[in-house]
Amino acid sequence: MKKIFIGIIALSAILLIPIKGVFAGGHYTGPDLSGQKVKIFGPWLAPEDESFRDVLSIFEKATGASVEYGGSDEFEQIINIDCKAGNPADIAVFPQPGLAANIAATGCLAPQGNDLKQMVLDHYAAGQSWVDLTTYADKNGKDQFYGIFFRVNVKSLVWYSPDNFEDNGYEVPETMEELLSLTEKMASDGNTPWCIGLESGGATGWPATDWMEEIMLRTHPPSVYDQWVSNEMAFNDQKVIDAMNFFGTFALNDKYVAGGSKAVATTGFRDSPKGLFTSPAQCMMHRQASFIPAFFPEGVEAGVDYDFFYFPAYASKDLGRPVLGAGTVITATNNNPATTELMKFLMHPEAHERFMSKGGFLTPHKGVDKSKYASDTFRGLHDILVGATTFRFDGSDLMPGAVGAGSFWTGMVDYTNGKSAKEVADAIQASWDAIK
Amino acid sequence: MEIFALILTVFIGLLCFVIYFGLSNFVLDYLLIYKNHSFVYENSIRVLIFIAPAFIVLFVFILYPVFETVRLSFYDKFGREFVGLHNYLWAINDPNFRRSILNNLGWLLIVPTLSTFFGLVIANLTDRIWWGTIAKSIIFMPMAISFVGAGVIWKFIYDYRGTGDQQIGLLNAIVVSFGFEPQAWLTIAIWNNLFLMAIMIWIQTGLALVIFSAALRGIPKETLEAARMDGASELRIFWSIIIPFLERTILVIWTMITILVLRVFDVIYAMTNGEWQTEVLANLMYDWMFRGGGDSGRGSVLAFCIMIGVIPILVWNLYRHRQEQQYEN
């Protein structure tokens, strides 16, 4: 009798999975989870945290559960402390998949079910690559699926002020050659071409790692990029040193960067783009990921006060249009019903559309209504993301934490402060060897 | 609701202790008086009963973590596989580690010395002027600020903007007004350590000042008057009377600040996070222990090094304390 009963439950569960997996479209409806509490911890601070809380309010209304989100600039360290102390938040939002993989290996994260995995495969463009990026070895070395990408960004962008370009008669460069000659022209006109800021509290240096990745993708085939990220090719390989020196042509030239090269490492990455909007402008261009308009001064309008162009590739090299991206991974530390349901909710188009409408949010979700994006800017980004010839994930996020979130950052800071590229690359490779 | 739970927890905790002490004491009395047992170590047992909870707390929160740290320093980054001395060898070969040791030594030499020196001098200078109390209050004020708060304030002082831009940093504004080039102070390797130490000195001078001011009052007026009558200069009085009288206080303050400086972390963390070669052991430990997925093996090695550094100072402190007690007896 009991066996039959269990059988019926199991059968109905199997039948239910596909039904739950399919979105009816429109509004999210969830089970009744009144009285349940879900705590979320992530790296988002103002203004993104408000948008995220707004997304969560849909879930709260639909299920009756209460969700609490807390953010910190020191997420990387605190998630470790919380895990070791044994009381992590129910859901952790990782800014880097590499870090999530490290935490997963400690057994702190809970593997997610196949139904969630299927949702990612079905609804995300290039679903398999997103699944691969959230599949990590667990405590026993077995590969498990741990979470979903929520809020992706495209990095290969250069932000500029159309007014400034028009006043000076500059044209948006289509190729790297044009970008280099434009940079030179701006400097000879007495303008400062670039704003570069690397300061980011405990994560100082990361914006320079993005520069390195962009340059690697534009000077070498993607396979070289992959070897670099996995350290099959040493960090102090001449190719990497050349890339660093290429970054130096922008960052170490006092005429090319706002405030001079000394200001590069001490300027906050959040403050850096503000130089585009001062009068007179402190700089003409700012290379940064798609999330950066969130830090633009209040009142500036997309398409009018600022616009972006694709950080171009060399016309002389046959490397296509590589796009560099990154994203935040949402993982759970337990499989409580409310936690599991919230993970599924975050795959629902409504969750994505709400964040999209708030701005600063980009998604590879194919089921969303593109008109929900707050601006044409993001509709344009969405197209870049879905249509790249080569898409590569932020390399420093894929390197081991001690390198990608440690010596690589420090190395780039040292480089902008006057150390030679060779010296820096040697030190980073040494730190990589030390943890092998 | 949560406050209520908190009060309840505190209350239950206190109740448990009252019951523990009352009951165990009662049992001991009962055995001694009513059952007429006599124990040889009666007093020792009573002492043991009363200090046992303190011992347990000490063990769980201080001794156990020490042993666990030492154990973890011989294991891999997850604390699972034994790797022998591998982590220690890594530390010796790590340039950041060596840099941190050097920086820590610099901090140990400079900060306690200057804080004590400034504290002593200012205490003397402000002792006999009418606005001395006001000056002292102002100098003491930084003590009320947390290190991170101080870091944020000093970040503004050292702020750098490119040549030609409006300097919002105090130091650069001054430098520029004298016609010099602005500097990115925090990035000038080796010297930037001094700029960071200035923050600690700024905070700790207040502490030294207050304690020295109190100690100055303890110097007998007669001695000072006699010296003045004999025609000793103020400088002579300072060296030959005040310093010998304050010798113990100086040592106490020195060790206090030294121990504080050994585990200096907050200032570095808030200001540079160890970049530009300002790394110190405590910050390096935090980085390895918790950043990028964490590495409890290497983190523990660094924590152990800090502990090794503190121990001689503690032992010396205890030894001195013992001697003083013997002297007084």
pLDDT in tens, B91-122: 898 888 999 999 999 999 999 999 999 999 99
Could you tell me if residue B214 is inside a domain? yes
Same domain, B121 and B57: no
- Secondary structure element (H or E) that encloses residue A238, with its range: helix A238-251
pLDDT for the residue numbered A95: 86
- Alpha-carbon distance of A287 to A3, in angstroms, equals 62
Per-residue model confidence as pLDDT tens digits over B144-190? 888 889 988 998 898 888 777 778 888 888 988 888 888 888 888 78
Amino acid at site A282:
Q
Q: Which residues partner with A308 through β-bridges?
A: A159
Tokens for A48?
Answer: 């993104």
Count Cβ atoms below 10 Å from residue A192 Cβ, excluding itself: 23
* Domain limit, last residue, from B72, B103, B121: B72
Number of domains composing chain B: 2
- Domain(s) labelled CATH 3.40.190.10 in chain A stretch across 29-154+325-387, 157-324+395-434
Same domain, B110 and B40: no
Could you tell me if residue B170 is inside a domain? yes
Selected for mutation to probe chain A from B172, B272, B273, B279 (highest A CB count within 10 Å) is B273
Structural domain of B38 = 2-72
Chain B residue closest in CA terms to A192? B162
Task: Decide if B291 and A406 are in contact by the 8 Å CB cutoff.
Answer: yes
Chain A residue closest in CA terms to B288? A402
- Alpha-carbon distance of A368 to A339, in angstroms, equals 23
> pLDDT confidence of B255, banded at 50, 70, 90?
confident
> pLDDT confidence of B127, banded at 50, 70, 90?
confident
Per-residue model confidence as pLDDT tens for chain A (436 residues): 455 555 555 544 444 444 433 444 578 888 888 888 999 999 998 888 899 999 999 999 999 999 999 998 888 888 888 988 888 999 999 988 878 888 898 889 999 989 899 998 888 877 777 888 888 888 888 899 999 999 988 888 999 999 999 999 999 998 999 999 999 999 999 999 999 999 887 788 999 999 999 999 999 988 899 899 989 999 999 999 999 999 999 999 999 999 888 889 888 899 899 999 988 889 999 999 888 888 899 888 888 899 998 899 898 888 877 888 888 999 999 988 899 999 999 999 999 999 988 887 888 888 888 888 888 888 888 887 776 667 788 888 888 878 888 889 999 999 998 899 999 999 999 989 888 7
B chain contacts of residue A417, beta-carbon cutoff 8 Å:
187, 189, 276
Task: Decide if A84 and B269 are in contact by the 8 Å CB cutoff.
Answer: no
B chain contacts of residue A431, beta-carbon cutoff 8 Å:
94
Query: Between residues 121 and 180 of chain B, which touch chain A (CB distance below 8 Å)?
Result: 159-163, 165
Selected for mutation to probe chain B from A80, A84, A103, A282 (highest B CB count within 10 Å) is A80
Amino acid at site B13:
G
Option in A80, A205, A282 nearest B294 (CB): A80
B96-110, B231-245, B259-273 — most confident range = B96-110
> pLDDT confidence of B73, banded at 50, 70, 90?
very high
Same domain, B177 and B33: no
Length of chain B: 329
- Alpha-carbon distance of A248 to A155, in angstroms, equals 19
pLDDT for the residue numbered A200: 86
CATH of the domain at B324: 1.10.3720.10
Same domain, B46 and B153: no
Q: SS3 string of B152-195?
A: HHHHHHCCCCCCCCCCCCHHHHHHHHCCCCCCCHHHCCCHHHHH
Task: Decide if A406 and B163 are in contact by the 8 Å CB cutoff.
Answer: no
Option in A106, A262, A427 nearest B184 (CB): A262
Count Cβ atoms below 10 Å from residue A141 Cβ, excluding itself: 7
pLDDT for the residue numbered A389: 66
Same domain, B323 and B228: yes
Can you tell me whether residue A287 is helix, strand or coil? strand
Length of chain A: 436
B chain contacts of residue A88, beta-carbon cutoff 8 Å:
none
Task: Decide if B292 and A413 are in contact by the 8 Å CB cutoff.
Answer: no
Q: Which CATH class is domain A157-324+395-434?
A: alpha beta
Q: Is the pLDDT of residue B328 over 80?
A: no
Q: Is the pLDDT of residue B274 over 90?
A: no
pLDDT for the residue numbered B38: 64
Could you tell me if residue B79 is inside a domain? no
Q: Is the pLDDT of residue B194 over 70?
A: yes
Could you tell me if residue B82 is inside a domain? no
Same domain, B168 and B249: yes
Same domain, B133 and B31: no
Same domain, B52 and B94: no
Option in A81, A99, A260 nearest B293 (CB): A99
Query: Does domain A29-154+325-387 match CATH 3.40.190.10?
Result: yes
| Tally of CA atoms within 13 A in the half-sphere of A213 that contains its CB | 31
Same domain, B33 and B99: no
The answer to whether the CB of A389 falls within 8 A of the CB of A320 is yes
Could you tell me if residue B311 is inside a domain? yes
pLDDT for the residue numbered A7: 52
Helix and strand numbers (H, E) in chain B are 15, 0
Option in A404, A413, A430 nearest B292 (CB): A404
* Closest CA of chain B from A80, distance in Å: 6
The answer to whether the CB of A106 falls within 8 A of the CB of B78 is yes
Q: Return mean pLDDT, chain B.
A: 86
* Domain limit, last residue, from B15, B44, B72: B72
Q: Which residue has the tokens 């007896």?
A: B329
Amino acid at site A6:
I
pLDDT for the residue numbered A216: 93
- Asked if A397 has any chain B CB less than 8 Å from its own CB, the reply is no
Chain B residue closest in CA terms to A403? B292
Task: Decide if A204 and B186 are in contact by the 8 Å CB cutoff.
Answer: no
> pLDDT confidence of B84, banded at 50, 70, 90?
confident
Same domain, B235 and B172: yes
**pTM of the prediction?**
0.76
Q: Which residues partner with A125 through β-bridges?
A: none
The answer to whether the CB of B294 falls within 8 A of the CB of A102 is yes
Same domain, B123 and B190: yes
Option in A103, A413, A430 nearest B276 (CB): A413
Chain A residue closest in CA terms to B90? A434
pLDDT for the residue numbered A13: 47
